[in-house]
Amino acid sequence: MITASHNRKEDNGYKVYWETGAQITSPPDKEILKCIEECVESWNGSWNDNLVDTSPLKKDPLQDICRKYMEDLKKICFYRYPSGNELNSKTTLKFVHTSFHGVEHDYVQLAFQVFGFKPPIPVPEQKDPNPDFSTVKCPNPEEGESVLELSLRLAEKENARIVLATDPDADRLAVAELQENDCWKVFTGNELAALFGWWMFDCWRKNRSRNADVKNVYMLATTVSSKILKAIALKEGFHFEETLPGFKWIGSRIKDLLEKGKEVLFAFEESIGFLCGTSVLDKDGVSAAVVIAEMASYLETSNVTLKEQLSKVYEKYGYHMSKTSYFLCYDPPTIKNIFERLRNFESPKEYPKFCGKFAILHIRDVTTGYDSSQPNKQSVLPVSKNSQMITFTFQNGCVATLRTSGTEPKIKYYAEMCASLTCVHFSPGQSDTALLEEELKNLIEALIENFLEPSKNGLTWRSV
């Protein structure tokens, strides 16, 4: 199956899915590649409409797939009939949902119905599909409050405390919550993952069968995402694994684990891509939206907000402060030179030992397959020669990654301070979050100044 892969018409592309439901992770062989090329070519106006109309194979599977998907959603719903707990139907919370002119309005409405909720309030101007995305500059909920304006104003009018925003192809989810000071908290992907990780494991523990073994349970994240799931796994006894960036790698690994009889509760990438359960092997904004709604409704019974619960998760498993952003660079040779300089920093084939005043403990370069933390110096993650990605682990506990985007002219950086990995005054229960944030801020400034050199290389900071 081939699907469109981007929200903006100028960034149009395609993804290829195999019969497993996961994207392919390696280049297809020549025969498959030829088939893909023929399919793509047919998109350019060469469909034989008469052949399609007269084919006995013609069938629209949408309704059947939708029905099966909604039935599958019940596996990750814990507070409605037949559980005997009708919490979802009784909640006083109101939810606003925006589709950003995409395809998912009807499916989010159905998902809420399956979970026993009243339907979320749609943003009328953004409810129906519109390829011109007429109400937003960029229909990407990852950009935060700047693109959520219509949703937030509607929520204030309707007295709704939670805003759910799915991107036009329904695979990502952004969440905003109204705080006591009447300001909105827009959660990052890593923050939402901390909540999802806590929730999915807590629900599994409460509902597991007598023979269910925690050692059979897995959660996954891409390597540029927060390490919060790793911290939860270490404390609770289940397994955590990292993959290369991109849900195709997560989907492929989940397939392998399921075939071995393992149970995967949750997986995510920091760019607000989440998968609760394994009904699909890709990020899924529809199921993530309704799971967050159930989580918020459950917390409301104890007068706890999502933000307050996030603090509880960090207090229990260690504070994880992260920052992600990017620079634009439209010159591929410049991008290559930036990364090659890091591989030959002070002398040929020598990576940097410091970034400003910050000492580097380990370096992993998946473009070349190098990892200084491994006995054989070989990266455990697959080599990815077609993209640039270097990860630095610092002595102060910060983990920072520089990588290129596969679809846009960007150099991205990801940095996280993990309290459980740093010195004693950052340990769980004693964390000085202001100190943690200051340390992270200073390290990112050093990373940009010493490694990216934006002025020298003509890099443009993200505009939003």
User: Active-site positions?
Assistant: 5
Query: Is residue 175 assigned to a domain?
Result: yes
Question: Is 189 in contact with 273 (CB distance < 8 Å)?
Answer: yes
Mark whether 327 and 456 lie in a shared domain. Answer: yes
Query: Is residue 21 assigned to a domain?
Result: yes
Mark whether 134 and 25 lie in a shared domain. Answer: no
Mark whether 49 and 68 lie in a shared domain. Answer: no
Question: Is 268 in contact with 275 (CB distance < 8 Å)?
Answer: yes
Query: Is residue 419 assigned to a domain?
Result: yes
- For residues 276 and 284, give the distance between their C-alpha atoms in angstroms, rounded to a whole number: 8
Domain containing residue 39: 2-59
Which of 38, 59, 80 represents a domain boundary (last residue)?
59
Mark whether 16 and 86 lie in a shared domain. Answer: no
Query: Is residue 17 assigned to a domain?
Result: yes
Mark whether 456 and 326 lie in a shared domain. Answer: yes
Mark whether 330 and 434 lie in a shared domain. Answer: yes
Which of 186, 220, 246 represents a domain boundary (last residue)?
186
Query: Is residue 290 assigned to a domain?
Result: no
Mark whether 69 and 23 lie in a shared domain. Answer: no
Mark whether 345 and 444 lie in a shared domain. Answer: yes
Question: Is 220 in contact with 264 (CB distance < 8 Å)?
Answer: yes
CA-derived radius of gyration, the chain: 23
Query: Is residue 147 assigned to a domain?
Result: yes
Q: According to the model, what pLDDT value does residue 39 have?
A: 63
- For residues 464 and 461, give the distance between their C-alpha atoms in angstroms, rounded to a whole number: 9
Question: Is 185 in contact with 307 (CB distance < 8 Å)?
Answer: yes
Mark whether 218 and 178 lie in a shared domain. Answer: no
Mark whether 236 and 370 lie in a shared domain. Answer: no
pLDDT in tens, the chain (464 residues): 445 555 555 555 556 666 666 676 655 555 666 666 666 665 555 556 666 677 787 888 999 999 999 999 999 999 876 555 689 999 999 999 999 999 999 999 999 999 999 999 999 999 999 999 999 988 989 888 889 999 999 999 999 999 999 999 999 999 999 999 999 999 999 999 999 999 999 999 999 888 889 999 999 999 999 999 999 999 999 999 999 999 999 999 999 999 999 999 999 999 999 999 999 999 999 999 999 999 999 999 999 999 999 999 999 999 999 999 999 999 999 999 999 999 999 999 999 999 999 999 999 999 999 999 999 999 999 998 889 999 999 999 899 999 998 778 999 999 999 875 443 334 444 456 888 899 999 999 999 999 999 999 999 987 54
Question: Is 387 in contact with 404 (CB distance < 8 Å)?
Answer: yes
Q: According to the model, what pLDDT value does residue 429 have?
A: 44
What is the residue whose two structure tokens read 């891409």? 222
Mark whether 448 and 351 lie in a shared domain. Answer: yes
CATH number for the domain that contains residue 393: 3.30.310.50
Which are the contacts of 219, defined by CB distance < 8 A and separation ≥ 6? 197, 200, 201, 229, 232, 233, 238, 239, 240, 241, 264, 265, 266, 267
Residue type for position 304: V
Report phi then psi at 390, rounded to 5: -125, 130
CATH number for the domain that contains residue 274: 3.40.120.10
Query: Is residue 194 assigned to a domain?
Result: no
In terms of pTM, does the model score above 0.85?
A: yes
Q: According to the model, what pLDDT value does residue 118 have?
A: 95
Query: Is residue 201 assigned to a domain?
Result: no
Which are the contacts of 274, defined by CB distance < 8 A and separation ≥ 6? 173, 189, 192, 193, 196, 266, 267, 268, 283, 284, 285, 288
Mark whether 180 and 237 lie in a shared domain. Answer: no
Which of 254, 281, 308 represents a domain boundary (last residue)?
281
- For residues 307 and 231, give the distance between their C-alpha atoms in angstroms, rounded to a whole number: 19
Structural domain count, the chain: 4
